[in-house]
Structure 1
Amino acid sequence: MTTQRADRTALHTPLPTSNVPIQTKLAAAWTSFMFLYVYVDLLGLYKPGMVEDILKGKVFTFDISQTFAVSALAAMSIPALMIVLSTTLPARANRITNLVVATLLIPYMAFNLAGGEWLLYYGLGLAIELVLLAFIVRSAWTWPRTPAGA
């Protein structure tokens, strides 16, 4: 009887809340954002006609060139760099960098809806990206402060 009571008590014991450092939360959010960003583009290749357009040297309305590839790589590098920066920058610089970069990415990500095709697919991707960016902005904005005497 005692074992059953202990089992029931264990089931109703509140789960401990761990204090995850803000830097880890930001790095996790940027990691999630990066995976989603890549997968939206990758799965977009399954859209009928996309591969044919790529073979003809076009992505959306852009010519595939070294300039296009460098621009795309630079854009894709932002979340990867933010993972590292979120875990290594000092708190003040970290907070500002996360606020600025996440805020600037919001309109840039909205550009993915341009063109009007597959609005549900790209709309879902954008909605999740915006939730992640909003989390990053909110987390950086509300960065916990320690009293000067602590």
Structure 2
Amino acid sequence: MLADHKVNIKSKLTAHWACLMFLYIYADYFELKTPGKIEQIMKLKTPVGETTPGLLVIFSLILIVPSLMIVFSVLLKPKINKWSNIIVALIWSTMSVLIIIGELDDLGGWYTFYLLYQIVEVLVFGSIIWHAWRWPKHKVNL
């Protein structure tokens, strides 16, 4: 029989956030292969308008926070860790759902792959929330 060791909650949450970062990176990488995308980048166009230093800061924060959650999921104390995972996952999953709603009109087109990534991201966020919510408690012996 193969041993099945219990994985602690911090490792589970860390793995989830790392998974999300791979999903983000590959979705953006494949998006570069859609018609006209490179030309839009060269013209400093984004889906939300012209590229500006402020917009790049916003885009950076959107990726910095989940990146930091990989580290925070290991380092933070349990109570702060639990709630930071729940809160960040709720906020970022809401952003993903809004992106999905915005892309529904392109279903069947070039961005169907992107919609797939967004759906998987929402599922991973849901799993983060579920695992964090069910954070194991120590039994206190009286």
TM-score by length of 1: 0.85
Q: Which has the larger radius of gyration?
A: 1
Which of 131, 142, 150 in structure 1 is aligned with 2:134? Answer: 142
Match of 2:36 among 49, 70, 74: 49
Root-mean-square deviation (Å): 1.5
Distance 1:110 1:37 in 2: 14
| Distance in 1 of aligned mates of 2:36 and 2:83 | 42
Unaligned runs of 5+ in 2: none
The answer to whether the aligner puts 1:122 opposite 2:105 as a matched pair is no
* Paired amino acid for 1:91: P
TM-score with structure 2 setting the length: 0.90
Give structure 1 regions of 4+ aligned residues with deviation exceeding 6 angstroms: none
Per the TM alignment, residue 119 of structure 1 is displaced from its structure 2 partner at its CA by: 4.4
Task: Letter of the 1:23 partner, please give it.
Answer: K
- RCO greater where, 1 or 2, for CA within 8 Å and sep 6 or more? 2
Deviation at 1:78, TM superposition (A): 1.3
Greater shift in the superposed pair: 82-91 or 36-45:
36-45
Q: Could you say what secondary structure the match of 2:141 adopts?
A: coil
- SS of the residue corresponding to residue 93 of structure 2 reads helix
Letter in 2 for 1:142: R
Q: What is the percentage of aligned positions where both structures have the same residue?
A: 30
Q: Secondary structure at the match of 1:47?
A: coil
1:84 to 65, 71, 81: 71
* Matched-pair contact (CA < 8 Å) for 1:29–1:132: yes
